[in-house]
Chains A and B, each alone.
Chain A
Amino acid sequence: MIVADRKPIEEIIEYIKDRDKVLIVGCNECVTVCEAGGKKEVGVLASALRMYFMNQGKEIKIDEVTLERQCDHEYLEEIRNIVDQYQAIVSLACGVGVQFMSEKYFKTQVYPGVNTCFMGVTEERGVWSERCQGCGQCILATTGGICPVSRCAKRLLNGPCGGSSKGMCEIGGEVPCAWQIIIDKLTALGRLDDYEKLAPLKDWSKERAGGPRKVVREDVRQ
C-alpha cells in the first residue's frame, strides 16, 4: 500500500485560516490502513480544527466526507455537486488522490492533509516500512524477493557495501541491512549462486529518472 503520515496540524491551519468553508476528504484505501487519512482521521482532524478556530474566535465551517478512493474518477465524481460550496478542500488521500482531485475540480484549491511517504507494509500496528520504489523493472527474482532498490540505503545491486554490522545498515537508526536479508534468504533457498552473478547495470530510464511514467494497456483500454 501507499504509506502516508499525518501532517502537523499547524501546517493545515496555515493553509485554511483565511477560508470560511472547507471540506475535508478522506480516502478508504491505503491511508485508512496506515491510519493517516481514513474516515476516523478525517473526524479527528475536523474536530481539532473546529476547536482551534473556535478558540481563536474564528468561524470556519468544516465539513467531512470520506470516499472509497480518490484515484478513480468514479468516486471523485461523488462530490461534484457539493464542491462549489467550499473555498478549499483538504484531502487526506495520498499525493495521487490530492492531485487527481485538483485536476478534476480545477477551480477549487485542494490542499494535502498528509505527507505521502512510500510504498510499504504494516510491520505491526503503528509501524510501517518501505518495500518498493516502483522502479519499473522488478529485479526481485534475482535477489531472493528482497528489494535492494528500496531497502539498501545506497541502492547497491551487487552485494553489501562493507558498512553492514550485525545485520544492520551503516546509516544506523535500526535499519536492517537489505543485503544481509538477501544473503540470508538466498542461503535459505540454497541459491547463493544467484548472489555470485554480477547484476547488469540498471536501466534507470524505467524508473522516475526517465521522466513521468505511464502504463497503457491497449487490451483493456475502452
Chain B
Amino acid sequence: MPLKEKIEAGGFAVLAELEPPKGADFHSLLANADLVKGRVDAFMVPEMANSVVKASSLGGCAFLQNRGFETVLQVCCRDRNRLALQADILAAGAIGIKTVMVVQGDDITFGDHHQARAVNDVTLMQLLEAIAGLKNGKDMAGIELKGAPDFFVGSTFNAGAAGGALDLEIEELKKKKGLGAAFVVTTPVFDTDIFEKLLVKLKPVGVSVIPTVLLLKSAGMARYIDRNVKNIFIPSQLIESIQKAPDKPVECVSIAGKLISRFKEMGAPGVLVSTIGWEEKLPQVLDEARL
C-alpha cells in the first residue's frame, strides 16, 4: 500500500532513512534498499544532512524510484532559492515521487564546506505554502503551471522540546498543518513513555507524528549524543545496557527494534528508522521489531 494510504488508513508505516553516498557510485544505496525490499513502505532520502556534501535527495529518490521503491524527498531551504526549490519539486512530481518532507536545513557551519554561503531564501513555512500552491497549479509568483504535482506533504517536529519550547513547537505544528503538512517526522526518540504522552497531547492537532528511531552504535555514541546533541535525550539505563552487553552491536539493534515495537503498540502512525552508516543492519532491526 502506498505510504499516504497506509498512514491515512491508520496503519503503521515503516520508513527507513537512506543517505545517498558522497560520490557518484550508487551501488550501496541500491544494495541497502534491496536488503529490506517489501518490508519498508518508503525510503526517506535526506538532503545533505548536517550540511555535508553528498548526492542530492532528488537524485537518490529518482534512482530508487526507478527501481520500484517508494521514496520520500527531502526539500531543504538551506541550499536552494525559490526558483531552484520549485524546479526540483516539479521534477520530483513528474518522476513519480509522491511524498515530500520540508526541512529548514542545518547550518553550513556543521558541515564540510564551511566557507559556503547558505541560501535560506524561503523559510520552512513559506516552502510548505509554496508546495500547497504548486499542488494547486500555481507557482510562487502566481503563474499557472502546466500540470500540477500532487504530494503527500510532511515536515519536522522537535520531540525534545519541553515546557515553553514545546508550546511553541505545538503552535508551529498547527501552522504547518494549516499550510498542508499531513505528517511530521520527529527528532530521535529514546524515551517511549514521554513520547506516548506527547502523542496524546498532539492528537487534537490532527497531524501524523512519526518518531525517529536512531540506531545507536555504542555506549560512547549514546553518551555523546545525550550530552551534546540538543533535543535528544537517552535514558541512562539504556546507555548502561549497551555498556554491559557482551555483544554491543546486537544490543543496539535490539534497542532499536524494541523502540519500534513500543511505538507500534502505542498507536504511532509509523516510524522512521535511521541507521546512519549501519544500513546493513536494517533487516535485523526490523526482525527484532517483528516487521
A201 is an interface residue with CB less than 8 A from chain B: yes
Contacting chain B: which of A101-109, A159-167, A204-212?
A204-212
B243 is an interface residue with CB less than 8 A from chain A: no
Point out the residue from B107, B109, B115, B118 that lies within 8 Å of A203, measured CB to CB. Answer: B115
Would you call B117 and A207 a contact (CB within 8 A)?
Answer: yes
Would you call B107 and A204 a contact (CB within 8 A)?
Answer: no
B104 shortest CB reach to chain A, Å: 15
A202 is an interface residue with CB less than 8 A from chain B: yes
Would you call A209 and B117 a contact (CB within 8 A)?
Answer: yes
B94 is an interface residue with CB less than 8 A from chain A: no
- Which B residues are CB-close (under 8 A) to A201? 115
Interface residues on A, range: under 10
- Which A residues are CB-close (under 8 A) to B115? 201-205
Closest to B114 in A: A205
- Interface hits, B81-126 → A, CB 8 Å: 107-109, 114-118
A81 shortest CB reach to chain B, Å: 36
Give per-residue flags for B108-148: 1 if the beta carbon is below 8 A from chain A beta carbons, else 0: 11000011111000000000000000000000000000000
CA separation between A209 and B117, bound complex, in Å? 5
- Which B residues are CB-close (under 8 A) to A210? 108-109
B79 shortest CB reach to chain A, Å: 12
- Which A residues are CB-close (under 8 A) to B108? 205, 209-210
Closest to A207 in B: B117
- Which A residues are CB-close (under 8 A) to B116? 204-205, 209
- Which B residues are CB-close (under 8 A) to A211? 107, 109
Binding site for A on B (CB under 8 A): 107-109, 114-118
Additional 12 contacts, C-beta under 8 A, given A201-B115, A205-B109, A209-B117: A204-B115, A204-B116, A204-B117, A205-B108, A205-B115, A209-B108, A209-B116, A209-B118, A210-B108, A210-B109, A211-B107, A211-B109
Binding site for B on A (CB under 8 A): 201-205, 207, 209-211
